[in-house]
A and B are shown apart, each in its own frame.
Chain A
Amino acid sequence: MRPEFEAEVLASLRSTAGPTLDGKAPTEVAPELAWADRKLHYKLVSPLNRRKFKIIVVGTGLAGGGAAAALGELGYEVHSFTFHDAPRRAHSVAAQGGINAARGRKVDNDSLARFVKDTVKGGDYRARESDVWRLAEESVRVIDHMEAIGAPFAREYGGQLATRSFGGVQVSRTYYTRGQTGQQLQVASSQALLRQVKAGTVHLHTRSEMLDLIVIDGRAQGIVTRDLVTGKIEAHTAHAVVLTTGGYGNVYFRSTLAKNSNVTAAFRAHRRGALFASPSFIQFHPTALPIGNEWQSKTILMSESLRNDGRIWVPVAPADPRPANDIPEDERDYYLERRYPAFGNLTPRDVASRAARDEIESGHGVGPLKNSVYLDFRDAIARLGKPVIVERYGNLFEMYEHATGENPLEVPMRIAPGAHFAMGGLWSDYDAMSNIPGLFVGGEAGWAYHGANRLGANSLLSACVDGWFTLPYSIPNYLAGLLGTPALERDDPRVHAFAEEARTGVQALVDIGGTQGPDRFHRRLGDILYSHCGVSRSGEGLAEGIRLIQELRREFYADLRVQGSSGSFNQELERAGRIADYLDMAELMCLDALDRDESCGAHFRVEHQLADGEAARDDAHWAFVSAWERDGSRYVRHDEPLAFESVRPETRNYR
């Protein structure tokens, strides 16, 4: 039984009356054959008919840039939107370590099936199995394609592609370009997009933010955008809308994400009826830089690939005041290697983050604020020499030195868990379509591949697969049914009404006329979430978190101050709109975490742990995905049951 206070908070926000959801994966074939089977059954649009269809793609990261370019290459009329000044700046650019592919070229016993097993197990059995098989299958040609269009992957001395290993796996399947894999993939992808812009198939709209989704006659038929330079709000119509707008980790204020990454596009679609799946599944990256002072605006990410050669430790003695290099070997606790001898420093992110939190909370934290652990390259340098280490991680070391003034070649890095990747997102079926016909979802904006914990180097992969190799197959299947139906006219009165509503919403924020700028609310919201919905959660803490968020939201709508006008370049106004959505998003995250009365992956409920401190998953009651519908100020939970045929659920054990 839930304690009364928690039950009361749950009852005030939630009902579970939603009907069971159908993920629409082919059920008559084994999951490994689902994608081939589905592709065979998709309807096609012939080359001459493609230019009659308009498709809106929001976001130009690896998912959005890929989808827009691929659909443009096929001959559709694509409209690509980004709030950046250039498509290359999308946050995919910041991923460092690598991109996985189930190519299994080495004799380390990797395979398609092992990729699926690692990913499904790593996600603690909360992913959709058939989607993971598609991810694995398409991963093979993602590498070929990205290499062909300009990503200079690292090569072995014989000239073949090089690989390395990442957390949660015991094989080497990660392809990389130094510590800037995301950048190289993103630049290659943006170039492919610009090629289509030149060819006239893709119309690029930069510095344009999506404010609303146009749903008419039960179909997604367009979006409302604000031109961030002129402030002009206008509607754009199309036969289909694709949201590839990234994750919402920035709700924590200090996260590893870019400052402008936000949830607004996805949340506005959610307000229009799109279900939001697994909102509480947020990954805390174990190798982020610790927070050093009040005005620090984010937490910088250090690639997980560092764990290939770096050893993580804390002093055995709590609050040991000595500098790291003065602490002798027998007074160091390599706690990951001690607790997880099979995986050691390469345990998955959720396990590594929780273990670091345990060490910090038990007084073994290091650094001026005692809020971090050491990541030490001393042994790797002794074994391989400085030049090898510098070639592997040089730019990461420089970035670290810039931020901290310490040289990791001489003293160990200090790292701590930081809010990172959103495994939750808009619910979509096996065809990447949301519950709103015509609204498609790709990349981190979606939910399906990673379950409750994403393995390192699977995020670039999922974005590339969705963009280049899933959406170009599934969208035409939807469009084929609309042949002969023109896109809505932009001056249709129903379209106008959407733009007018967005205009009113923006003006309402300006009109509050209070005393506090939007960032102040964001900082406070972040603090609430870190302490109530962070690396570990409790029912009591979550219920309290919801109350605090509701209070903060009341204050926001009473006391927000937006400087400047709505008719010009106004970054305060951009922030205000996003924070209005973060407040509701944070409430939904806490609600989902409170509702999901089990531990799984990144969602660790302290009430549900085994005697040794590991997460206690509850498949008997929670082997489903929660997808939330918004009904006024309340939420209705829909469940999609998860079945695992090829990877039998077992307790995750990385020892």
Chain B
Amino acid sequence: MKLKLKIWRQENTAAAGGFVAYEVDDVQPELTILEALDKLNDELVEQGDSPVAFDSDCREGICGSCGITVDGRPHGPEANTPSCHQRLKSFADGQQVTLEPFRSAAYPVVRDLAVDRSALDRVVESGGFVSIDAGTAPDADSHEVSHQAAEVALDMAACIGCGACVAACPNGSANLYVGAKLLHLSVLPTTKYERGRRARDMVETMEEEFGPCSLYGECVEVCPAGIPLTAIAGVNREKLRAVLRGRDRDD
């Protein structure tokens, strides 16, 4: 099959960007959209043109590196699927497809389709960790975690950090991302003493870096890890809990 591509080109963060039209021919429907870009780049280099920059790494949907906007939708047409698993079979032969970077005030464009998502890490850095040094952990079998609780923690911990939730949100909110992290860590028995402080610090950083949540729910449609909308409730729950119990007290 063939595709008409309209791709955002931007030299660097400071430069102005714009769309450029390309065509990619003779591609199989089972190829991913990133593999189609590989093929296009191969042809661009052959012609002496500059290839399209985009981030991708594991191409197995787990590292969270990839992330482009396809026809206005973060990652692409197939719901809950990362860019590296979006396949050309979603498009009709000869269809025009628009490729852009993730669009959000929190994500400056680095070049073409690659963006800077370090704001996501700054939220984790502010408190999304467990303060236990190497070698000081208790025997993991000395405390029980119910099967069900472990499963809930895993549902929330599945986030791959791609940041599509922010790009999909009309407000540029990171509530799904932060709520998932807070709920994941709140289940763990080893972190109970810093639960309140974590909620306070992470929410504060989140509010500085990202927009507010208005419960549109677009984030849930694009999340490759299937983080449920209930994660958003985690932000308010953990924040409120911290307030009610006092800033640093969790006992």
Selecting from A150-158, A439-447, A594-602, A610-618, the interface stretch reads A150-158
Is there contact, CB below 8 Å, between A148 and B147?
no
**Chain A interface: which size bin?**
35 or more
Binary interface profile of A, 550-578, with partner B (CB < 8 Å = 1, else 0)? 00000000000101100011011000000
Picked from B28, B42, B128, B188, the residue with its CB within 8 Å of the CB of A293 is B28
Picked from B38, B46, B128, B130, the residue with its CB within 8 Å of the CB of A295 is B38
- Within 236-273 of A, Cβ neighbours of B (below 8 Å) are at 258-261
Query: Smallest distance from the beta carbon of B39 to chain A beta carbons, Å?
Result: 5
Q: A198-B126, A399-B61 are in contact. Are A160 and B144 (CB under 8 A)?
A: yes
A50 at the interface (CB under 8 A from B): no
Complex Cα spacing A460 to B64, Å: 19
Binary interface profile of B, 58-71, with partner A (CB < 8 Å = 1, else 0)? 11111111000000
Q: A93-B62, A180-B62 are in contact. Are A145 and B154 (CB under 8 A)?
A: no
Is there contact, CB below 8 Å, between B160 and A183?
yes
B97 at the interface (CB under 8 A from A): no
What is the size, in residues, of chain B's interface with A at 8 Å between Cβ atoms? 79
What chain B residues lie within 8 Å of A66 (beta carbons)? 134
Picked from A149, A152, A188, A405, the residue with its CB within 8 Å of the CB of B150 is A152
What chain A residues lie within 8 Å of B34 (beta carbons)? 297
Is there contact, CB below 8 Å, between A297 and B59?
yes
What chain B residues lie within 8 Å of A145 (beta carbons)? 132, 134-135, 137
Complex Cα spacing A141 to B128, Å: 23
Is there contact, CB below 8 Å, between A85 and B158?
no
The dominant DSSP class at the B interface is loop
Is there contact, CB below 8 Å, between A568 and B124?
no
Picked from A144, A259, A515, A568, the residue with its CB within 8 Å of the CB of B59 is A259
What chain B residues lie within 8 Å of A70 (beta carbons)? 133-134
What chain B residues lie within 8 Å of A300 (beta carbons)? 59-60
B233 at the interface (CB under 8 A from A): no
What chain B residues lie within 8 Å of A571 (beta carbons)? 51, 53
Complex Cα spacing A147 to B61, Å: 24
What chain B residues lie within 8 Å of A516 (beta carbons)? 45-46
Is there contact, CB below 8 Å, between A517 and B147?
no
Is there contact, CB below 8 Å, between B129 and A195?
yes
- Within 147-200 of A, Cβ neighbours of B (below 8 Å) are at 147-150, 152-161, 177-178, 180, 182-184, 187-188, 190-192, 194-195, 197-198
Complex Cα spacing A161 to B150, Å: 10
Picked from A157, A258, A399, A572, the residue with its CB within 8 Å of the CB of B57 is A258
Is there contact, CB below 8 Å, between B64 and A73?
no
Q: A144-B138, A159-B147 are in contact. Are A517 and B46 (CB under 8 A)?
A: yes
Residues of B within 8 A of A (CB): 11-12, 27-28, 30-32, 34-36, 38-39, 41-42, 44-46, 48-51, 53, 55-65, 81, 85, 87, 89, 110-111, 114, 116-118, 120-121, 124-126, 128-135, 137-141, 144-147, 149-150, 153-154, 157-158, 160-161, 184-185, 187-188, 190-191
